[in-house]
Structure 1
Amino acid sequence: MPVTRTRSADTRRNILDAAQRIMAHKGYSAVGLNEVLAEAGVPKGSFYHYFGSKDAFGEALLESYFDAYLADMDRVLSQPGQSAAEHLMGYWRMWRETQSFDECQGKCLAVKLGAEVSDLSEPMRLSLKKGTGAIVERLERVIISGLSDGSIAIDGTPRETAQILYDMWLGASVMAKIHRSLEPLDTTTAMTRRLLLP
């Protein structure tokens, strides 16, 4: 790969990383492109060299976020020597640590932007739908594995249970921000155990 193409990809990555950090705190609409570019150390006039529009930038931001999130999720869900139930509970522990109200280090973007951008941008809504759908699919696969290894017992179907759990944790993350308390996440952890464990 030529040096200029590598440098261009690095600059694009820096812009997305800076945007993720800032928008995890402020949201999408409250952050101007100039603020993101200044944080990334990129000249103001060069934004459209890297992104065709603000919508294209938003899509790229969410795709980048979900790529990293799903890689972390896959790592947690494939720890050797653990049952499917232990994999899932490890994932929820990671969620609690990274989605908390205080400091999410840019790892709570789906929680922060979900409701905000779904009404503003159809391409961004579709990126959120695709990314959250990939999370639910992974949860479903681990639940199926847990039914096989006997570490999980559920009343509904694996897909329904995966969707309910994801929705519950997403809602708890919003409530944790509203109340400035981890109690909603702790309550959801207890409910998750009741829904999954024999």
Structure 2
Amino acid sequence: MNTIPKSEQTRSRILSTGRRLVLGMGFTGMGLKELLTESAVPKGSFYHYFASKEAFGQALLEDYVTDYLGRVDSLVAAPGTGGARLLTYCTAWLAAANKPSIAETCLVVKLASEISDLSEDMRTTLDAGVTELVARLEQIIAQGMADGSIVPQGDTARAARLLYGQWLGAAILSKLGKSEQPLVDAMDDTRRRFFP
């Protein structure tokens, strides 16, 4: 028996459908009519949950950031060395046999440049999520340095920012060139710089 209230199920369905559509066509490219049709929700119901398309975008990003950080928190808490956890995170950027890569499902990759001028609230939400993610990467790097599985990096905060920036840039180049090579190159460079 499903214990989630129907109203929360509807809101969740709108957000998950919206995430899929936004990943495919961008935030401005996704029309409200498409979202309502795909999620099988009447227009009035949409406005019951979200005051506007921008409010929906804000909720979409908050939901995405919460989900993403939860997955990274599980990784941070996983047993093993910091180096093994960092390698697991970096490997997730590459396509797996039965799972889409982070590069294919990352709303930061898809929306960072689009929303930075469109909505200050959405930009702030995405930026705060990235800041939290980088802090978690810094934690993994520090753990790996402490257990000897990661080469000393000096300023771990800077190392985490540069690492994330490299992978984010590689994901954008990969999307642009329709090639995984930039991600493969990022993995090679990460192994060279971070692993003994």
Q: Same fold (TM over 0.5)?
A: yes
Supply the distance in 2 between the matched residues of 1:174 and 1:161 (Cα, whole angstroms). Answer: 20
Matches within 5 A, 1:69-108: 69-80=68-79, 82-97=80-95, 98-100=101-103, 104=104, 107-108=105-106
Query: CA shift at 1:44, angstroms?
Result: 2.0
Q: Secondary structure at the match of 1:95?
A: coil
Equivalent position amino acid for 2:94 in 1: R
Query: CA shift at 1:25, angstroms?
Result: 1.1
Equivalent position amino acid for 2:120 in 1: E
CA contact (8 A) 1:77 1:90 kept: no
> Which of 105, 110, 118 is matched with 2:116 structurally?
118
Supply the distance in 1 between the matched residues of 2:152 and 2:26 (Cα, whole angstroms). Answer: 36
Compute the TM-score of the two structures, normalised by the length of structure 2: 0.91
Compute the TM-score of the two structures, normalised by the length of structure 1: 0.90
Query: CA shift at 1:47, angstroms?
Result: 1.5
Report what 1:197 is aligned to. Answer: 195
Report what 1:27 is aligned to. Answer: 26
Report what 1:145 is aligned to. Answer: 143
Q: Secondary structure at the match of 1:96?
A: coil
Supply the distance in 2 between the matched residues of 1:162 and 1:25 (Cα, whole angstroms). Answer: 29
Supply the distance in 1 between the matched residues of 2:13 and 2:63 (Cα, whole angstroms). Answer: 11
Supply the distance in 1 between the matched residues of 2:41 and 2:183 (Cα, whole angstroms). Answer: 38
Q: Secondary structure at the match of 2:47?
A: helix
Equivalent position amino acid for 1:99 in 2: I
Query: CA shift at 1:108, angstroms?
Result: 1.6
Report what 1:52 is aligned to. Answer: 51
Query: CA shift at 1:70, angstroms?
Result: 1.4
**Farther-moved stretch of structure 1 (142-151 vs 181-190):** 142-151
CA contact (8 A) 1:20 1:61 kept: yes
Q: Secondary structure at the match of 1:120?
A: coil
Query: CA shift at 1:79, angstroms?
Result: 2.8
Query: CA shift at 1:153, angstroms?
Result: 1.3
Supply the distance in 2 between the matched residues of 1:185 and 1:77 (Cα, whole angstroms). Answer: 22
Supply the distance in 1 between the matched residues of 2:161 and 2:18 (Cα, whole angstroms). Answer: 28
Supply the distance in 2 between the matched residues of 1:184 and 1:78 (Cα, whole angstroms). Answer: 29
Q: Which consecutive segments of 4 or more residues in structure 1 shift more than 3 A?
A: none
Supply the distance in 1 between the matched residues of 2:93 and 2:73 (Cα, whole angstroms). Answer: 13
CA contact (8 A) 1:78 1:87 kept: no
Supply the distance in 2 between the matched residues of 1:155 and 1:83 (Cα, whole angstroms). Answer: 16
Supply the distance in 1 between the matched residues of 2:154 and 2:54 (Cα, whole angstroms). Answer: 38
Equivalent position amino acid for 2:181 in 1: E
Structure 1 stretches of 5 or more lacking a match? none
Structure 2 stretches of 5 or more lacking a match? 96-100
CA contact (8 A) 1:62 1:124 kept: yes
Give the % identical residues.
Answer: 42
Query: CA shift at 1:110, angstroms?
Result: 1.2
